[in-house]
Structure 1
């Protein structure tokens, strides 16, 4: 492990809007008390790190075990626009997303988090694109796109200001916040949850849970991004609705001086190596939306595997050793979007009867 040692948090607990307060923010995490207990979180992606922060800031001694450094997890290559995507059940995901939105809106006011509230448009080539299904939880957030917000070739759409997250910066922020709260992070491969000597355990291994649990219901959906320099000075995001396996989206990150171009949603594709032909098609599609992108220098390629499941697994299990384990995985393409509410609910399951 990192040698940071155990320490009880002296920071104020994270504010997470709870189910019991109807989405209103309150201190603490649902029923989570401040009794110091050792907790091991397996998985260093955004779900694991957020869960660790919530637990540590509630007074628990938290150790994160991750196979890869936090900055090299699947979360690090996410496009990370707040929007529910590839996750079920819809009603539960909508509630998690709504509660997490409140936290991201507050983080956008803090420097150094990598979170900003960004305006943008989701559009369709044909008329009649409806408002998103989650809009009922966010009255006033979504409006019909104005004509000048629709790129050439698009006839309908909606616009909104949504959290857009620069993931490398955000994961660094979560790491600093966890360490400040007394948590520690260590590299390690866990071959069995039963091997961990801990009274409380949270399994946030994403697609890794397919072999670790094992859970054959998990399947990968590959996402491919092309990172280009923001020479066109883009500041609004764009998503084409109904893109299928080859999607079109443009996510500017002004702080990093780049634009993320996407993307793909290839089911059951395990390959994480960039495909030059796929990348070329991504750039071509995005350049049809913003022609100046065709000349933007390509800086990097990012490929990640979304952990998709018939429904997110959020439940607790008593291990043979008597340890309490909470499973929190299968968040599909919206791990960031639901991360704070899922962290709060996992912590609640872990520490209440």
Structure 2
């Protein structure tokens, strides 16, 4: 544990990356405050379909390393209780060959094989058992775990890193980093999904994820998430009715039983995409340290724990350049 003088950390950003990083730091003995512009239930992470899979994130080699570490944590959480909102669910991932997954997962998935024609009609796909996270449960659980470790969460808008009065600041602002630290390389990728009553689907399904129009079905407790879109540089946070109809149509082509499912909600989130995740430490003009930790694209949930541990290591005094 570090000494009291250097133990304080302010984490800016209350999404899954910020909260997970804060939890890791607090459980390592740091005094952690999270400052978040929005309640954790209204962050971009709250909109995530949250299937464990390194989607739209670079560099891929690092993302896979972070993903596999996160997989260990999610598997442990799924086996321990339902409080964390993590389940291990089987399903089909279109356009993926099992051999490609084995190249980087190296036997880490308990269930991994080629999907049958019945499981995924009309193309190649992998069948796997993966963590599926209910973000409506998981984000409040992370916040409570942080509080049990002595940390706190405060709703506060930050316009300058200098506002954070702590020896170490961790910048987990996602898309907000465009303005906060003047980084135009982090850009929005708009994702829209439709929440419907579940007609009895208990496996997930993801069609080939190329292009701006996606098709995926994620069964969560009491509902089914249908997606989606991947629209680059689109800042609109409002649901588009035409896109919603198209999403249901694409998903019904894969699972006809969803065609008449009652719609419960429409959601839109802006993925913080970047040519590469920014995970680095620098020194502010006043001598304090800032760890930048943003740009996770569509894989924030997937890489959260592995990435958080590396960010926490950078936030220790020993990480400073001599």
Q: For the superposition of Structure 1 and Structure 2, which TM-score range results when normalised by the shorter chain?
A: over 0.9
What is aligned with 1:194? 162
Instruction: Tell whether 2:47 aligns with 1:77.
Output: yes
CA distance in 1, matches of 2:60, 2:163: 34
Deviations 1:145-171 (A, max 9, x none): 1233123xx232110000000111000
Q: Distance in 2 between matches of 1:226 and 1:335?
A: 20
1:327-338 to structure 2, matched below 5 A, reads: 327-338=292-303
Deviations 1:14-54 (A, max 9, x none): xxxxxxxxxxxxxxxxxxx4545111000000000000101
Query: Which residue of 1 is the match for residue 128 of structure 2?
Result: 160
1:228-307 paired onto structure 2 within 5 Å: 228-230=196-198, 232-253=199-220, 255=221, 257-307=222-272
Gaps of 5+ in 1: 1-32
Structure 2: how far apart are the matches of 1:39 and 1:323? 11
C-alpha separation in 1, matches of 2:206 and 2:294: 26
Deviation at 1:139, TM superposition (A): 3.0
Q: Which residue of 2 aligns with 1:227?
A: 195
SS in 2 for 1:135: helix
8 Å Cα contact 2:209-2:215 kept in structure 1: no
Q: Note closer, same or farther for the CA distance 1:57–1:35 as it changes in structure 2 (3 Å cut).
A: farther
Farther off after superposition, 139-148 or 170-179: 139-148
Q: Map of 1:139-218 to 2, 5 A cutoff?
A: 139-140=106-107, 141=109, 142-151=112-121, 154-218=122-186
Structure 2: unaligned runs, 5 residues or longer? none
Give the TM-score taking structure 2 as reference length.
0.94
Superposition RMSD in Å: 1.3
Q: What is the alpha-carbon distance in structure 2 between the residues aligned to residue 134 and residue 205 of structure 1?
A: 31
Q: Of the candidates 74, 83, 101, which is equivalent to residue 104 of structure 1?
A: 74
CA 1:210–1:132 in structure 2 vs 1: closer, same or farther (change >3 Å)?
farther
Q: CA deviation at 1:300?
A: 0.4
What SS does the corresponding residue of 1:40 show, helix, strand or coil? strand
How far is the alpha carbon of 1:318 from its aligned partner? 0.4
Distance 1:132 1:69 in 2: 41
- For 1:14, the equivalent position in structure 2 comes to none
> Could you tell me how far 1:135 is from its partner in structure 2?
3.5
| Structure with greater proportional helix content | 2
Query: C-alpha distance in 2, partners of 1:165/1:144?
Result: 23
Aligned partner of residue 147 in structure 1, secondary structure: coil
CA displacement at 1:137 relative to structure 2 = 2.9
Question: What TM-score does the superposition give when structure 1 sets the normalisation length?
Answer: 0.86
1:122, distance to aligned residue in structure 2 (A): 1.4
State the Cα deviation string for residues 194-218 of structure 1 (Å, max 9, x = none).
2221111100000000110010111
Q: 2-side partners of 1:321 and 1:67: how far apart?
A: 24
Match of 1:137 in 2: 104
Give, in angstroms, the shift of residue 132 of structure 1.
7.2
Secondary structure at the residue paired with 2:159?
A: coil
8 A Cα contact 1:251 1:260, kept in partner: yes
Q: CA deviation at 1:341?
A: 0.8
Q: Distance in 2 between matches of 1:326 and 1:133?
A: 33
- The number of residues matched between the two structures is 312
> 8 Å contact 1:226–1:282 — kept in the other structure?
yes
Which residue in 2 is equivalent to 1:29?
Answer: none
1:123 aligns with one of 80, 94, 100: 94
Does residue 326 (structure 1) correspond to residue 257 (structure 2)? The answer is: no
